[in-house]
Structure 1
Amino acid sequence: MGAASLLMIIACTALGVDVGTIFADKRRTQSAADLAAIVAASDLPNASRAAAATVAKNNYPPESLVAVEPGVYTAKASLAPQQRFVAGATPANAVRVSLKTKTPLYFGKVLTGDSQWNLKATAIASTTQLATFAIGSRLVSLNGGLLNALLGGMLGTTLSLSAMDYNALLNANIDAFDFLPALATRANLTGVTYEALLSSNLKVTDIVAALQTAAAGNSGAITALSSISSSLSGLTTRITPASLINVGPYSSLTVGQKPKVGASVSALDLLSAAAALANGTNQIAANVNLSLPGIAGVTLLATVGERPVGTSWITVGAAGASVHTAQTRILLKIQLVGSGAVSVVNLPVYVEIAAGTATLNAVSCGYPNVNTSTVTLGVSPGIVDAWIGDVTPAMMTNFSTKPNPPPANIVNLGIIQVSGRAHATMANTSPTSVNFSYADIQARTKKTVNTTSFTASLTSSLLGDLQLGVQLGPLGLPIPGIGALVASIIGGATGSIDTLLNSVLQTLGVGLGQADVWVNGIRCDGAVLVN
């Protein structure tokens, strides 16, 4: 009986001492894992080193650190807790740290036969590092007449705004999270999420009206938008705003809830992007009069394609998020002032600019001084494909294939005909890294990325490939001297043609072999435990 009682006493002592020690050490191990996860999540590029240093400072041996796993944590209540973290997924926004330690057994070893008890602890910490950024719009050429023709053509109406009106719209900063609630009100959508609102098919007239509401306090912009609203009276065109704005992780918020990071854009940028979306793939025809030397007249045919599916022009997102420009095609039929026997040269210049892309490569949050935070974008301007040739309107609307036009008849002297054909292309082989300081972000500084393979004017590149054919009558007999004269006429107008191209493209919001990008918001939250 005494022996049996002694065994019970030992067992109870083990229960009271050893189990208490196990729970105490388990809590200490879990605290160390929690702290290591938080520190690692605060320094994701060096997560393993940061976790190891934290474990060492808590007096655990290096082998205690079993695993440091960066991954993606998705904060969605609809997901089961074990499904919210995916180890190895990119871009990482969280870290899972696993520790394995041992605690001594004082009395329990009599029962277990082991002098130590294994303890395991796992912790997941996530950090919020978001940026708002955009690509594309570069409306620096505020030619009132040309903008009225192009913007009006895309909206399906006639505009008569002045350059002063356009400047007012350009200088009116609109926060997307002020604009979207106003848009929901106009569309009679209440209690919906941002995702539901942006996925809705909404009237262009409601978008312009919502812009007026969001521009409160800017009388010039409100007056200009009111004039546009009047011009759009009766228009029934609808668009899906998701191609304009992507609110990223805030898509599940109810419209009206305002997150910590904003998405500020100019009223003119947003209006132009909406107009391009409303246009679909319809062609815009306009006469262009810029009074350039050597150019007698210009007619313009333009087509703005849709952005890649599922993409937008401005977004809020973490590393890996991207934005895209729209594909743009223009055909300029330029009438050049001739000389000598050739009085006029009709030069058709076709330019296609594919969609450009900007990807959020990194958000570096400065702790504790947020002023040291930076954002890095990887930017690829759209590939530029240009022709001098007989490009038809049907070719311009077929976005499934690139035009490969035949020679165009550029000089008609009765029985003497001159044809011409040329091709030039330019593209970046890899994205260009663009860094934005905190000061750049606060000032919403736009930065331009140029195509690295583009070293001369587009017109010069085309002329370098220009092949002229001169023939007399149906026999196709060559006429000496005519080809050289036509080439000299075109060559003399190189500067004017370049100016014309740049002006038209800038008015459409794009540049030759260029992409404009800017970051207008950053959110840096400290790492927090999520599991």
Structure 2
Amino acid sequence: MREVTLSAVRRFSRERRGGVGVFVACAMPLLVSFAAFAVDYGTVQLDARRLQGVADAAALAGATAPDAAQADAAVRALVAASWTKATVVRTVSGRYRADPQIAMAQRFAPGANGDAAQVQVATESPTYFASFFGIPSVRIVRQATAQRRAAASFSVGSRLIGLEGGVLNALLSALTGRAITLGVFDHRALIESNVDVFTLLDRVKLRANLSVNDYGELLAADVRVSDVFGALSDTLSASGQAGAAGAVARVNGAVGGQTIRLGTLIDAGPFARQASGGTGAARIPVLPFMTTVLETNGPRRLALDLGTTVPGVASLKMQVAVGERAQSSPWLAVTDKSETIVRTAQARLYAHARLAPTLLPGLSSLASIDLPLFVQVAGAEARLKTIDCSGSPRSVTIEGRVSALDAAIGTVDESKLDDFSRTIQPAAARILNTLVIDVDASARVSLGAAEPWQERRFTQAMIDGASVQTIRSSAMIQGLVVSLTRNVTLTPRLLGFLPLPVSSLLSAVTQLLAGVAAPLDDVLNAVAGGLGLGIGEADLRVNGLRCGNAVLVG
């Protein structure tokens, strides 16, 4: 028996059949583990991808909601309709800043009145083979952030509705260096016309024959002012504004060979990397745009001879010095960022008005009064506060503040007018000069620089109607020259040096100054308005509103 057993053992040890079964039996735990990894991992990945899609859709729904409560409701409704296995972990409304200088994880900031929503969803993905090892399911959590993209365009300046024809022609002639004579209908057409900014830029590209990929490259290119005005005339003509198109073409005939970089005037904001901007994002008023283009690379000092445009004034001449616009401050901005600020340029106006000769008390012959007026205006500024695309109606809120203002009756050194690094201190002016009696005059009006931001809201209807809202200085005056003449100090002098009180003469001089004050105010406002400036006030415009769809941002 023993021999049989040993023999059987020897035969069994030499037997090769059945070896695979033994190997499989030994390897079975490992094979089950591989199957669990392959099948269960694949299932988890599929569920994770599906869950990410649900999170993305939920974030887009939340970003388009008007407030946090409605965002959470929209997210939960979409998740429930998309996948019953998924649950909402949290929904957070806030604001997203697409700033490459900020770390990705810090670009979303929670807040009640934001433009973005961050959603986190979860689900349990069941396992098949891993359940043998005590792992019945795997928890998956996915997150998505979406932002509601909206952009508004806005500008700050002064109204031109009351711009007198002679002043406009004198201003355009000084800016171009050639005589320009436009009629009343030309003035009205230019004042009332506007164009879409991206349509205009597309025509500038064609006119200048530029090979650029997007608006950012176009705005950074140097183009001839004649090409800009030619494109402006073409755009006006194509939009049915023939009168304004003809007026622009006539002004273009007087433009020289100067060039301009339109990026100094227009900030394309989120459209800078786009090759097409569509329509409706921004419309620009034609006349302020024209004068701003001309003054940007044109002469910094203008000499205006306004003749006898003011009743009671025999002659009126004016020197205008235009300062450089603040760096990184465009004339018009298309943006979704509240830190974008637009400013007007600073300017100095020095006017010499000679009143018509008249007979004054105590004098035996006609005498003329010379009235020097000095006005210095710093740059008014505006910035975007909020864009409300979810309200009814949609709206844009702009904040603006008025610039500092300094005005005087007095004489200044004209050679220093365009040196804005130095302060000008007007001296008392001799406004009446006769053989026996002279009269000196001095007056000063200043509006402080520390003006508060003033808020103005523009609804969609106001934007479509090109409405303008005005902000005024907190210490606003009733007419600049009127205020100066009401507060003027008159000092009569006998033979040029001895003070002498002559009440009747002073009273007559005061009445003469009061009579021309209001018309002179109109002329000063017209000249400043032609340069895009306001005296003691500023006009805010929202030129367009684009409410885009929500997009995923993180």
TM class by shorter chain equals: 0.7 to 0.9
Q: CA 1:411–1:240 in structure 2 vs 1: closer, same or farther (change >3 Å)? A: same
Of residues 290, 294, 297 in structure 2, which corresponds to 1:278? 297
- SS of the equivalent of 1:349 reads strand
Question: Within the alignment, does 1:302 sit opposite 2:320 as a pair?
Answer: yes
1:316 is matched with which residue? Answer: 334
- The Cα offsets for residues 402-421 of structure 1, whole Å up to 9 and x where unpaired, read as 42222122221235332222
Matched to 1:225, the amino acid is V
Which of 424, 437, 453 pairs up with 1:403?
424
Q: 2: CA distance between counterparts of 1:63 and 1:192? A: 42
Which residues in structure 2 correspond to 1:304-383 (within 5 Å)?
A: 304-320=322-338, 321-337=340-356, 339-341=360-362, 343-366=367-390, 372-383=393-404
* Mapping of residues 387-402 of structure 1, within 5 Å: 387-402=408-423
Distance 1:24 1:201, change over 3 A: closer
Alpha-carbon spacing, 1:259–1:109, altered in 2? closer, same or farther (3 Å): same
Q: How far apart, CA to CA, are the structure 2 residues paired with 1:344 and 1:170?
A: 36
Alignment of 1:5-154 (within 5 A): 11=33, 22-23=44-45, 26-27=48-49, 29-31=51-53, 33-43=55-65, 46-47=67-68, 49-50=69-70, 52-53=72-73, 58=79, 64-65=89-90, 70-73=95-98, 86-88=107-109, 93-98=115-120, 111=133, 117-154=138-175
Alpha-carbon separation, structure 1, partners of 2:102 and 2:376:
49
Structure 1 residue aligned with 2:476: 454
1:312-369 CA deviation, whole Å, 9 max, x = no partner? 22222114233222223211212235532463322211122221222121111147xx
The Cα of 1:129 is off from its aligned counterpart by 0.5
Aligned to 2:8: none
Which of 412, 419, 426 is 2:447 aligned to? Answer: 426
Output the CA distance in 1 between the equivalents of 2:102 and 2:520: 61
Amino acid at match of 2:205: A
Determine if the alignment matches structure 1 residue 498 to structure 2 residue 516: no
User: Is this contact kept in 1: 2:525–2:534, CA < 8 A?
Assistant: yes
Question: 1:277 offset after TM fit, Å?
Answer: 1.5
* Unpaired runs of at least 5, structure 1: none
What is residue 9 of structure 2 aligned with on the other side? none
Distance in 1 of aligned mates of 2:34 and 2:211 = 64
- Residues 87, 354 of structure 1: alpha-carbon distance in 2 compared, 3 angstrom cutoff: same
Q: Is the 8 A contact 1:72 1:94 kept in 2?
A: no
CA-CA distance at 1:25 after TM superposition: 5.9
- Determine whether 1:478 maps to 2:500: yes
Given that residues 186 and 209 in structure 1 are in contact (C-alpha distance below 8 angstroms), is that contact kept between their aligned partners in structure 2? Answer: yes
Other structure's SS at 2:510 match = helix
Deviation string for 1:109-144 (max 9, x for gaps)?
8757x8875533221212221122232252213432
Cα 1:69–1:221, aligned 2, differ >3 Å: closer, same or farther? closer
Between Structure 1 and Structure 2, whose CA radius of gyration is higher? 2
Distance across 2 between alignment mates of 1:348 and 1:472? 22
Q: 1: CA distance between counterparts of 2:388 and 2:125?
A: 39
Match of 1:211 among 232, 237, 247: 232
Residue 512 of structure 1: which of 529, 535, 547 is its match? 535
C-alpha displacement at 1:159, in angstroms?
A: 0.5
CA distance in 2, matches of 1:271, 1:466: 37
Q: Tell me which stretches of 4 or more aligned residues in structure 1 moved more than 6 Å.
A: 1-6, 59-63, 79-82, 89-92, 100-107
Distance in 1 (alpha carbons) for counterparts of 2:451 and 2:200: 37
Question: Structure 2: how far apart are the matches of 1:80 and 1:140?
Answer: 44
Q: Residue 369 of structure 2 aligns to a residue in which SS?
A: strand
Residue 223 of structure 1 is aligned with which of 235, 242, 246? 246
SS of 1:64 mapped into structure 2: strand
Report if the CA contact (8 A) 2:93-2:116 is conserved: no
Distance 2:138 2:292 in 1: 64
Q: Cα distance 1:140–1:84, how it changes in 2: closer, same or farther (>3 A)?
A: farther
SS of residue matched to 1:430: coil
Distance 2:102 2:170 in 1: 55
Tell me the CA shift for residue 150 of structure 1: 0.9
Q: Distance in 2 between matches of 1:43 and 1:449?
A: 32
Flag structure 2 segments of 5+ consecutive residues without an equivalent: 1-21
- Cα deviation code 1:179-200 (max 9, x no counterpart): 2233233333223432222223
Identity %, equivalent residues:
27
Corresponding residue for residue 195 of structure 2: 174
* Deviations, residues 503-526 of structure 1 (Å, cap 9, x unaligned): 433344433222223223221122
Q: In structure 2, how many angstroms separate the alpha carbons of the residues matched to 1:229 and 1:4?
A: 93
Query: CA separation of 1:307/1:62 partners in 2, compared to 1, >3 Å: closer, same or farther?
Result: farther
Say whether residues 1:160 and 2:172 are aligned partners. Answer: no
For the Cα contact (< 8 Å) 1:139–1:508, is it kept in 2? no
How far does the alpha carbon of each residue in 1:186-223 deviate from its partner, in whole angstroms, 9 at most, with x for none? 33322343222222333222222222222224433343
Contact 1:177–1:263 (8 Å) recurs in 2: yes
Residue 162 of structure 2: SS of its match in structure 1?
coil
User: For the Cα contact (< 8 Å) 2:86–2:121, is it kept in 1?
Assistant: no
Amino acid across the alignment from 1:307: R
Distance 1:498 1:223, change over 3 A: closer
Distance 2:38 2:530 in 1: 80
RMSD (Å) for aligned C-alpha atoms: 3.8
CA distance in 1, matches of 2:39, 2:186: 81
Of 240, 244, 262, 1:241 maps to: 262
Superposition TM-score, scaled by structure 1 size: 0.83
